[in-house]
Amino acid sequence: MNEHPLPPDETPDLLIAEYALGVLDREERDRVEAMIARDARHQRAVAQWQAQFAEWLGQVPASSPPAATWRRIEQRLFAGSSHPPSRASGWWNNLGLWRWTTAALAVGLLASVLTLQQPGSAPISGPALLARLEQSDGTTLFAATINPGSRSVLFVNTGRADWPGKSAEAWVIAADGKPRSLGVLPANASATLSVTPQLADLLASGAVLAVTLEPLNGSPNGQPTGPVVAQGKISSL
Amino acid sequence: MTIRSNAAQSTDAQSSAEALNVLMQSCGKGDRLAFEAMYHATSARLFGICLHYSGNRAEAEEVLQEVYIMAWLKASRFDPQLASAMTWLATMARNKAIDRRRARRPHDPLETLPELSTQDPIPDSLEREQQGSRLDRCLETLEEAQQRYIRVAFFEGYSYAELAERHGIALGTMKSWIRRGLLRLRLCLGL
Per-block mean pLDDT, blocks of 10 residues, chain A (237 long): 52 95 92 92 95 94 93 87 41 39 42 33 55 88 80 84 92 92 90 87 91 94 93 84
For residue B31, which residues of chain A lie inside 8 Å, CB to CB? 102, 106, 130, 237
Nearest to B46 by CA among B3, B95, B118: B95
Give the right CATH number for B15-109 from 1.10.1740.10, 3.30.70.890, 1.10.1060.10, 1.10.620.20: 1.10.1740.10
CA angle A17, A23, A24 (to 5 degrees): 90
Is the CB of B110 inside 8 Å of chain A's CB atoms? no
Q: How many residues does chain B have?
A: 191
State which H helix or E strand residue B150 sits in. Answer: helix B144-156
Q: What is the dihedral of CA B108, B67, A141, A217, to 10 degrees?
A: -80
pLDDT tens by residue, B151-165: 999 999 999 999 999
* Sequence ranges of chain B with CATH classification 1.10.1740.10: 15-109
Between A26 and B188, the more confident residue is: B188
Looking at CA atoms only, how far is residue A219 from chain B in angstroms?
17
B interface test, pick of A56, A83, A86, A196 with most B CB neighbours within 10 Å: A56
For residue A66, which residues of chain B lie inside 8 Å, CB to CB? 61
Q: Is residue B141 packed enough to be buried (19+ CB in 10 Å), middle (13-18) or exposed (0-12)?
A: middle
How many CB pairs (< 8 A) connect A and B? 230
For residue B16, name the pLDDT band (cuts at 50, 70, 90). confident
Residues 6+ apart with CB under 8 A from B94: A22, A57, B49, B53, B157
pLDDT tens by residue, B46-102: 999 999 999 889 999 999 999 999 999 999 999 999 999 999 999 999 999 999 988
Query: CA of A137: how far to CAs of A93, A158, A226, in Å?
Result: 8, 15, 18
pLDDT at B8: 57
Residues 6+ apart with CB under 8 A from A137: none
Phi, psi of B18 (to 5 degrees): -65, -40
Is the CB of A24 inside 8 Å of chain B's CB atoms? yes
Q: Cα(B60)–Cα(B50) distance, rounded to whole angstroms?
A: 5
* End-to-end Cα separation, chain A, in angstroms: 57
pLDDT at A23: 96
pLDDT, mean of residues B27-42: 89
A39 residue type, one letter: D
- Tally of CB atoms within 10 A around B105: 12
Between B107 and B45, the more confident residue is: B45
Nearest CA in chain A to B60: A65
Contact B91 A54 (CB under 8 A): yes
pLDDT tens by residue, A111-157: 333 323 333 333 344 566 888 899 998 888 898 988 766 688 888 88
3-state DSSP assignment of residue A231? strand
CB A211 within 8 A of CB A142: yes
Nearest CA in chain A to B158: A23
CB A9 within 8 A of CB A23: no
* End-to-end Cα separation, chain B, in angstroms: 39
Looking at CA atoms only, how far is residue A162 from chain B in angstroms?
15
pLDDT, mean of residues B24-52: 91
Contact B176 A76 (CB under 8 A): no
A interface test, pick of B10, B16, B22, B69 with most A CB neighbours within 10 Å: B22
Give the right CATH number for B128-191 from 1.20.1090.10, 1.10.10.10, 3.90.1520.10, 3.30.9.40: 1.10.10.10
CA angle A132, A135, A141 (to 5 degrees): 50
Nearest to B86 by CA among B123, B45, B48, B52: B45
A97 residue type, one letter: L
Q: Where are the alpha helices (DSSP H) in chain A?
A: 12-21, 26-37, 40-57, 68-78, 95-116, 197-202
* Sequence ranges of chain B with CATH classification 1.10.10.10: 128-191
Nearest CA in chain A to B176: A6
Interface of A with B in 54-93 (CB under 8 A): 54-66, 69-70, 72-73, 76-78, 85
Backbone torsion region of residue A159, taken as left when φ is above 0, otherwise alpha when ψ lies between -120 and 50, otherwise beta: beta
pLDDT at B113: 43
Strand partners, A209: A172, A232
Residues 6+ apart with CB under 8 A from B181: B142, B143, B146, B147, B149, B150
For residue A122, which residues of chain B lie inside 8 Å, CB to CB? 79-81
Is the CB of B45 inside 8 Å of chain A's CB atoms? yes
For residue A102, which residues of chain B lie inside 8 Å, CB to CB? 30-33
Q: Cα(A199)–Cα(A96) distance, rounded to whole angstroms?
A: 27
